Amino acid sequence: MEVKEIIRPENLVYKRTPLLTDAYLSYCPGCGHGTVHRLIMEVVEEMGIQEDTIGIAPVGCSVLAYDFMDIDCSQAAHGRAPAVATGIKRLWPDKYVFTYQGDGDLAAIGTGETIHACNRGENITIFFVNNGIYGMTGGQMAPTTLEGMKSSTSPYGRNNETMGPPYKITELVAQLEGTHYVTRQAVHKPGPVRKAKKAIRKALELQKENKGLSFIEFVSNCNAGWKMTPNDSNIWMEENMFPFYPMGDIKVDGKLVNG
Amino acid sequence: MAKAKGAIVVDVERCKGCQVCMVNCPTDTIGMAEAVNGKGYHYAYMKDPESCTGCTNCAVVCPDGVITVYRVKKN
Ligand SMILES: Cc1ncc(C[n+]2csc(CCOP(=O)(O)OP(=O)(O)O)c2C)c(N)n1
Ligand code: SF4
Ligand code: SF4
Ligand code: SF4
Ligand SMILES: [Mg+2]
């Protein structure tokens, strides 16, 4: 069968969602941010909630998320997205409101906003892209940087004794009463992508039910900051990030999975 | 048994040549072109069109949403 006989509208099984704008993504080749953007937009499209969804972009590489997602968006000062989302959701409780944040944004400068929005159980969704580094500013150490991991501010590798150990903010927020659904996902391979998409759908559906805050961490790569090719960074992530940041649900229906 | 036959279309100018699709293709259908696109990237293409099953793996992992997938059942 000729390729041109296959490429016909009736045989279409996958195409880019129209909820991603035509703008070229500003991310480095192979960066997981693009995949997470696309999955969120695919879910918003499939749920038919484009007109009712409001996203809050962070400071970090994804600061321009509002240019790439064809929904209403705002952008918050560094780390303050959960506070902005709180205000918007309280004014428009029927809208689907999410933040999109990196690890420097969410787990360093924005720790206070993150913890307290989670503790209050704001009825929002937090999408947290953890690449273990400050990607945008040139690969500085983040609170999530692994022990021994090199960054521009830990050139000999993170030393837990002098720099403190990395911490798992996702496990931490799962302890708080206000969080309803907390999970850790990845988007580097087809299987994880399909699982991550289901988690995004579940999180947004929970907003309809006013169940409280849903929190999804995506362990992701920063091939530029880690100084690797995209595929090498994905292998390195599996071998080094996943043992410390294990995949899977941490809290479901308001109950800790291993509690 | 009916076997699926597929084909992909790469939006050449959007492709960043990251090769993530290539390593996730179970049938080794995808290669990187020797030519470059307008941004200077070696873009993905079907180097072995016969082998594509239309599984969509390449498209779902592509960070830039570059790939469209078609599939037909063949006998
Ligand atoms: C108040 C303030 N402090 C510092 C910065 C500099 N800055 C910009 S992005 C960033 C870190 C972003 O890292 P992360 O949230 O992990 O996002 P990534 O780029 O890795 O996706 C920092 C410190 C800033 N823009 N504003
Ligand atoms: S610097 Fe890192 S996080 Fe930022 S776009 Fe590049 S790979 Fe992605
Ligand atoms: S994954 Fe996408 S951007 Fe990367 S090489 Fe393949 S088609 Fe191009
Ligand atoms: S659709 Fe499946 S078989 Fe075809 S190129 Fe993509 S990954 Fe390979
Ligand atoms: Mg980061």
Sketch out chain B's domains with CATH numbers: 5-72 (3.30.70.20)
Residue B73 has a pLDDT of 84
- Does the beta-carbon distance from B16 to A30 stay under 8 Å? yes
pLDDT of residue B15: 98
Q: How sure is the predictor about B74, in pLDDT bands with cuts at 50, 70 and 90?
A: confident
Q: Do B16 and A29 touch (CB under 8 A)?
A: yes
**CA-to-CA distance for A160 and A158, rounded, in angstroms?**
6
Ligand 4 centroid to Cα of residue B61, in Å, is 11
Give pLDDT tens digits for B27-62.
999 999 999 999 999 999 999 999 999 999 999 999
Residue A255: Cβ within 10 Å count:
9
Average pLDDT of chain B to the nearest whole number: 95
Q: Which atom of ligand 2 is nearest to the CA of A221?
A: 7
| B1 pLDDT more than 70 | no
pLDDT at B2: 57
pLDDT for the residue A95 = 98
Closest chain B residue to A68, measured at CA: B64
**Cα angle B23, B25, B26; round to 5:** 110
DSSP codes of every residue in B4-61: EEEEEEE-GGG-----HHHHT-TT--EEEEEEE-TTS-EEEEESSGGG-----HHHHH
Interface of A with B (CB under 8 A): 1, 3, 5-8, 11-17, 20, 24-25, 27-35, 38, 187-190, 193-194, 229-231, 234
Distance from CA of A135 to the nearest CA of B (A): 16
Residues with a CB atom less than 6 Å from ligand 2: A 27-28, 31, 33, 61, 131, 135-136, 222-225
The confidence band for B4, taking pLDDT boundaries of 50, 70 and 90, is confident
Average pLDDT over residues B64-75: 91
Global pTM reads: 0.98
Q: Mind telling me how many Å the CA of B68 is from chain A's nearest CA?
A: 5
For chain A, residues with pLDDT lower than 50 are: none
pLDDT at B25 over 80: yes
Q: Of A133, A67, A106, which is closest to residue A215 (Cα–Cα)?
A: A106
B65–A34: do the CB atoms touch at under 8 Å?
A: yes
Q: Are strands B3-10 and B67-74 parallel, antiparallel or unpaired?
A: antiparallel
With beta carbons less than 8 A apart as the criterion, state whether A86 and A94 touch: no
Between chain A and chain B, the number of residue pairs with CB atoms below 8 A apart is: 94
The pLDDT tens digits of the residues spanning A82-118 come to 999 999 999 999 999 999 999 999 999 999 999 999 9
Domains and their CATH numbers in chain A: 28-256 (3.40.50.970)
